Each structure stands twice: as structure tokens, then as C-alpha cells.
Amino acid sequence: MADRSPVITGLGVISALGSGIDEIWPAIVSGQSGLRPLTLFQSPRYGQIPVGEITRDLAEIGAPLHGSRSDKLAWLAARDAIRSANLDTQSVADRTGVLLGSSVGGTHDTERFLTALIKHGKMLARPTRFHECSSPADLVAESFGLFGPSFAISTACSSGALAIATAAELIQSGQADVMLAGGTDSLSHTTWAGFHSLLLVDMQGGCRPFDVARGGMSFGEGAAVLIIEAEEHARKRGAKILARLTGWGASCDAHHVTAPHPEGAGALAAMQSSLRRAQLTPKDIGYVNAHGTGTRDNDMAEGKALKSLFGANVPPFSSTKRFFGHTLAASGAIEAIVCIEALRRQQLPENPGFSEIDPAIGLSPVTKMRPEKLTHVMSNSFGFGGNNATLIFSTAETVPQTRPTPSIPAIVTGLGIIAPEKDFVSERAIQPPLPPDSIKVRACGALDVSTLTPNQRRRLSRITQMAILAARRSHAPDTTKRLAVVLGTGFGCIDEGAVFIENLIAKDEVEPMPTRFPGSVHNAPAGQVAIDLSAHGLNSAPTMGEISFESALWQAMNQIAIGEADEALAGGVDELNKYALAIGKRWGFWTEQTIPGEAAVFANLASTTTKKTSLARVTTVRLGRYRRPFDAKREADWIAAAVDLSKVNIVLSGAKGWSEFDAHYNSVVEELSRRTGRALTHQTYKQDCGEFYSASAVGFSVAVELARQQQCVVLLYTLSSRSGKALCCIEP
């Protein structure tokens, strides 16, 4: 199946160093830096420290008027990538998806809302419309009219690289022919002050990765998007192949929320996994683009991992972070483009900021750009939660050794559910700084945290505790197993993030909250579950509105299919939050039918060859986007192409939440019934758990119970408010 090998046919990038690789590469050659004084927002304590800020007027270079700053950066990179690939998006729309990493999402814009509220008592909710980390992927898919599988990955600083790796999997498994994949993150006061609260920022002129006198990281913003295609597709349309993505791998340290494993064990595992995937050996790698943030812990751990993998023959390596600043979720994608250009130009980029070797590491990076014969290059990205991802790019001329990734069913061996009690609706008081109010909610009761460790009780937020308790219930501990954890979420740790930002704005950067900052990232619950269960496999936090759970389910099942995990936890988690409640009320979301809810649900998945008892089998997971106006016939075609309708008994849908979707769901079930000549049973779950982004995880647990108890085949069908759709088939 070499014809489904992922190849790169286009790229787009926007950064402080420039827009487009033709602007960026000369700047790299001449050793310029994109770091400059901060102007995007006021920073009383740290304003004098240079950052990788994009000072161009985004509207002037064509960015859409609506959307967050991260959305606009992603859109600009996507536009340039499509142009450079000569891709006629309309002709490939149904088989083209978007997978973008984002960790900041619309936080910069949300800060405007919170500043107006806290400092001036004004409720101007509009900027929060694009708060979610899935917004950039949604905007790009909407704007370019793409209907293939699309979601976002939010695993802090490894997001961009993991999005690229996951896009390659979507192509190899046949879910898509073309993917727009990469990452985007704007600067935000929250991340800026957050990294300062962790004392991780270089207070001088810029980061100095691997240098003995390093002082921490430099900050930046940007976006980068690759066009990744199945080789057969690229050849058929006569596209120019720029490079190949031959290897990718991910791992989790399962060690600590911010500190990497001191021996670099997770970094090593990710690099090894990427080599396995590419069927290459360490000696084949001609260059490594290091994560190289310039923090002591990262450089030590990465240095050790490089020495463990390559022994005495560490290939030329460099960190290019000082050129751009650390652009968080965009960094893996920007650095992927640096690697592709290095291959195309046969040049090694230097490691600016380095002058003196650190004896504790004993490795010297490339200090001056030079020509080099390159065939395979590696790029590392590591993030909070001990999240590691490695990509391998190879020249267009290389013969790929990629293995096919058949889509195979998995069995569910356990479920863990923390959900609201049926028929229990309570009044939730809205707290300051919001105007006093109260809203009906379906809330989970008090958590029994007695089994959690003292550190988990005192430091972890409620949503993370919910996730840990649900994960433990779903999983029978077995230390010999390689375990992946994939947890979908719409809003992530929104409470923790809100407390951090409220404090930041109210106190003008004084008395920051260093525990809450890493606790507020989307992948904090998944990372803490991994620590709790010693899960060293893939750790991911996909997000895409109402199909966040299904995105997680697909990613988890795929880890089992490709043999990178023996078992995988797929879950969904979201929590009630006063801002989501109050703004939702203002916008008319909450009604007698649509009551906000929350839950944490995990399903433990295993290969069908395992000897464990199966509750049910998951035979199909499909992701995509629906067209507007909604067309039930077209949707039924999409469903019929993926599952054998003749065996389906029940359709379990996301109806009885947002009422505007009820008609869509009803029309699809009617159309499916018409085609099968039987009246399919239409069941729903939101009347019990309430409306929230990852509610379909509760739906999945209902589907598993229905399949098991009634020995019937259940279709779980979900639509998202921003045009996403997902389909799972659950069988006895």
C-alpha cells in the first residue's frame, strides 16, 4: 500500500521571522531573529523581554475579519499552503480534512472579554465566540469548503507535530486523501504570564538552547500548515512532491505535569517509535531539529535521549526556537517546514544563541548553517503532560517503507462513567465577576476523592479528578500492557483557566498561579490519567465541539490498529463553568429542553484478539463535516457507505440537546428507515446527561450497554454546531 504513503505537496507558514518559506529561509541563512519588543498587550512586569510577535496587520494580508487571532494565523497559513500545492479544494472537498494543533485557541480574544468584565464591569461576550481550540480547524474547513475528517489536537507544545502525525494516520487508514495539517497559536497574556510564573522564560535577549549559560525559553506566535496527500492522489493530479512524511511516533512520560522525565525516556520512546514506523535505523538520520526550548530540564532530557538513541554518533542537530520564539502548538508544524526546506535545499540550519557547550550534556549543535547531504531528517516536539511527538521527513526520491494501517474493530472491555444522576436538575448560582444569576444544570454530584493520593486531592482541579476516577473504573491495571490515553474535550479545563486569567487580570501579573497554569491546558486530565495509570503510549487531547469524543475514539482505536498500543483508553470530559453558563444564557442557548451538563467517561479498548471479556465491539468510526443546508439523503449516503445498514437496529443520536438539531437527526433516521425498509429505533441520551461538547461519550456508554443487553447493533450519530459529524457502529 505504498500508494497511500503520505507525501507533502504544499506548505504555508506565518511567523515573527516572516510569512512563507521564501521569506523565512533567507532570514535563517543570514541568522536573523524574529524576536522584538512586545506590543500585542500590556505586560507590566515582563514587557521588556523580546518575543516572536507578528507585527503585520493580519487583515491587510487577507485574513478573515471574524475569528480569534489564532484562527486568523491558521487561515493565512492554510491559504498559502493550498496555493503552494496548487490544490483545487472544490474537486477534493469530500476527501479532504483539517487537523490543526492549538493550545491557546482564542484565549487572547477571551482576555479582552475578561478585562472588560473585571476592570469595567462590562459584559461584552462577543470575543469569546472563537475561544475553543477547535475554532482554527473549524474556520479553515468552513472557509475553504472542506468536508473530510477535521478536528484539533491540544496537547500543549507537541500539538502541531501530533496533528501532522495523526493526519498521516487518517490518510493511511483511508479516511481521507488530503489533509491540511499543522498548528497555530497566537501570543496571549495567559500563556505569557503562565510561563513566567513557572520561571521558564529567558530574561535576557533570547533563548540559548543547549548553551551552558541558557536562561530559559523565548516566546512566540505563528501558524504553519502542510498539505499532506496520499501518494497515489498526489501523482494522479500531477502535484509536485516536496518531501515525504515517512515516520511519526508519540509517547507519554507519565512522569510529571511540567518536568520531562530526567533521563529523557519519553523523548527516546517517541524517536524510536518514529524510526519503527519509517523502518529506518538511527544511522539513517542526517539531522535532528530538536525541541530545544532552552530550559534546563528540556535540554538535559533531550540531550540524554539523543545520546541514548544515537550513542556516540549523534547526527548534526539544532534548535531553531530562537528564530521564531517558542510558538507552542505551532512550533512542531513550523519546525516540520524547516525540516522539509533543509531536505529540499540540502542545508543544515544553525542553532542561534549557542556559544559554549554544556559539559552536563556534552553535545554541540550546528553553530553555522552549512550544506549537507540529507535524506532523512527528524523533528522533535515535547509538551506539558510529558507529551512527546517525533516526525521523520525524507526526500521526495526516497522509496517509502510505510506499512498499511487497516481499520480494524476493537472491543470495549470496561467503561468508567462520572455523569449526572438521571432526573436530577439543580440550580447553579453564577459567581462574580459575572452579574448574579442562577441557571438550571445537570451536574455530577460530589466526587468521592478518598482513593486519590494527597497530591492529587490538593493540586488537581475537579475536571482532572473526574477524569482520573472515570479512567480507573474503566481499566483493569496490567503493567505489562502498552497503554494509550486519548481524552476528547470541548472546553478542556475551563474552570482552571478562568481562575488563572481572572487572577492575572485582577492583580496585573502579581501573585501568579503556577499550579493552575499547567493544570489549565486541554491535555492536563489526559496527562494526569497517564501518570495515574503509568500509561506510556500516545497521550492525546482531541477537541472538536460535539464530536470531540468520537475524534478521541478514532485516535485511540487507530493506536491499537497500528500496533502502537495493546490497550487504549478513549474518553470524553467537560465540566460546567460559570462563563459558559452565563454567556450561553445571554445567547439563548439554555432552554427547558437544553440544560447544560457535564461528565467524564472512559472506555477501555483492546484488540479483538485479546482474551479479555468484551462488552461490545466498535466496528466503525467515521468523521467528517456536513454541508449546509442539511441534506438527510446525502448524510444517509455517507452512513450507508461506512456500515451495513441491514444489520442496524438502533440509531442513538445527539437529539434532545440543542433543539435546532432535532429535525436533522429525525430526518436522517427517517431516511435510513426508508432505505432499510424497517423502522429503525431512534434513541437519545442528552435528556439524561444534559448538553455539553463531549456528551456523546455518555452516548457511547449507552450504546455499549444497549448492544450488550439487547444484542443489537447501535449507530451512534453525532452532529456538531459547527458542521462536524461523526458515526460509530457498536455491535455485540
Partner 1 sequence: MPIATTELKTKIIESLNLQDIAPEQIEDDAPLFGAGLGLDSIDALELVVMLEKNYGIVIKDIEEGRPAFKSVRTLADFIDARRSN
Q: Is 108 an active-site residue?
A: no
Interface residue with partner 1 among 30, 48, 455, 613 (CB under 8 A) is: 455
Is residue 447 within 8 A of residue 466, CB to CB? The reply is yes
Does 360 interact with partner 1 (rule: CB under 8 A)? no
Does 222 interact with partner 1 (rule: CB under 8 A)? no
How far are the Cα atoms of 331, 332, 429, 527 from residue 157, in angstroms, in the given order? Answer: 7, 8, 36, 13
Does 452 interact with partner 1 (rule: CB under 8 A)? no
77/92 Cα distance (integer angstroms): 19
Which of the stretches 28-36, 205-213, 389-397, 456-464 binds partner 1 when contact is defined by CB under 8 A?
A: 456-464
The DSSP letter of residue 65 is: S
Report the residue number, 198 or 434, with the smaller CB distance to partner 1. Answer: 198
Q: Is the dihedral of CA 589, 153, 299, 218 positive or negative?
A: negative
Does 197 interact with partner 1 (rule: CB under 8 A)? yes
Tell me the closest approach of the beta carbon of residue 450 to partner 1, in angstroms. Answer: 12
**DSSP SS3 for 345:** helix
385/620 Cα distance (integer angstroms): 30
Which is catalytic among the residues 326, 376, 475, 536?
326
Q: From the CA atom positions of the chain, what is the Rg in Å?
A: 24
Cα angle value 373/378/380 (rounded, 5°):
145
Non-local (6+) Cβ contacts of 97 within 8 A are 141, 146, 148, 149, 150, 167, 170, 175, 176, 178, 179, 180, 623, 624
Q: Is 256 an active-site residue?
A: no
Which is catalytic among the residues 133, 157, 252, 689?
157
Write each residue from 468 to 507 as x if it is in contact with partner 1 (CB under 8 A), else as -, in one continuous string.
Answer: ----------------------------------------
Q: Is 444 an active-site residue?
A: no
First to last CA, the chain: 31
Interface residue with partner 1 among 29, 476, 510, 663 (CB under 8 A) is: 510
Asked if omega into 629 is within 30° of 0 (cis), the reply is: yes
Tell me the closest approach of the beta carbon of residue 501 to partner 1, in angstroms. Answer: 16
Report the residue number, 257 or 715, with the smaller CB distance to partner 1. Answer: 257
292/309 Cα distance (integer angstroms): 16
The DSSP letter of residue 691 is: B
Does 44 interact with partner 1 (rule: CB under 8 A)? no
568/538 Cα distance (integer angstroms): 9
Cell of 139: 474556520
Does 258 interact with partner 1 (rule: CB under 8 A)? yes
Which of the stretches 238-246, 271-279, 436-444, 453-461 binds partner 1 when contact is defined by CB under 8 A?
A: 453-461
Tell me the closest approach of the beta carbon of residue 463 to partner 1, in angstroms. Answer: 17
Report the residue number, 450 or 609, with the smaller CB distance to partner 1. Answer: 450
Q: Which position has the grid cell 547531504?
A: 373
Which of the stretches 5-13, 14-22, 255-263, 529-537 binds partner 1 when contact is defined by CB under 8 A?
A: 255-263
Does 242 interact with partner 1 (rule: CB under 8 A)? no
Interface residue with partner 1 among 40, 198, 396, 430 (CB under 8 A) is: 198
Does 289 interact with partner 1 (rule: CB under 8 A)? no
The DSSP letter of residue 328 is: G
Which of the stretches 125-133, 177-185, 191-199, 711-719 binds partner 1 when contact is defined by CB under 8 A?
A: 191-199
Report the residue number, 214 or 522, with the smaller CB distance to partner 1. Answer: 214
Size of the site for partner 1 (CB under 8 A): 20
Is residue 131 within 8 A of residue 107, CB to CB? The reply is yes
Non-local (6+) Cβ contacts of 208 within 8 A are 202, 214, 215, 294, 322, 353, 354, 355
Q: Which position has the grid cell 438539531?
A: 661
Q: How many CB atoms lie within 10 A of CB 370?
A: 11
Interface residue with partner 1 among 129, 276, 345, 459 (CB under 8 A) is: 459
Interface residue with partner 1 among 190, 293, 465, 515 (CB under 8 A) is: 515
The DSSP letter of residue 524 is: H
Interface residue with partner 1 among 512, 596, 597, 657 (CB under 8 A) is: 512
Task: With both helix axes pointing from N to C terminus, report the angle between 107-120 and 189-197 in degrees, rounded to the nearest 10.
Answer: 90
Does 281 interact with partner 1 (rule: CB under 8 A)? no
Report the residue number, 517 or 626, with the smaller CB distance to partner 1. Answer: 517
Report the residue number, 225 or 361, with the smaller CB distance to partner 1. Answer: 361
Tell me the closest approach of the beta carbon of residue 511 to partner 1, in angstroms. Answer: 5
Does 514 interact with partner 1 (rule: CB under 8 A)? yes
Does 213 interact with partner 1 (rule: CB under 8 A)? no
Tell me the closest approach of the beta carbon of residue 516 to partner 1, in angstroms. Answer: 10
Surface-to-core class of residue 46, CB atoms within 10 Å of its CB (0-12 exposed, 13-18 middle, 19+ buried): middle
Catalytic residues: 157, 291, 326
Contacts to partner 1 by CB under 8 A? 197-199, 203, 256-259, 454-455, 457-459, 510-515, 518
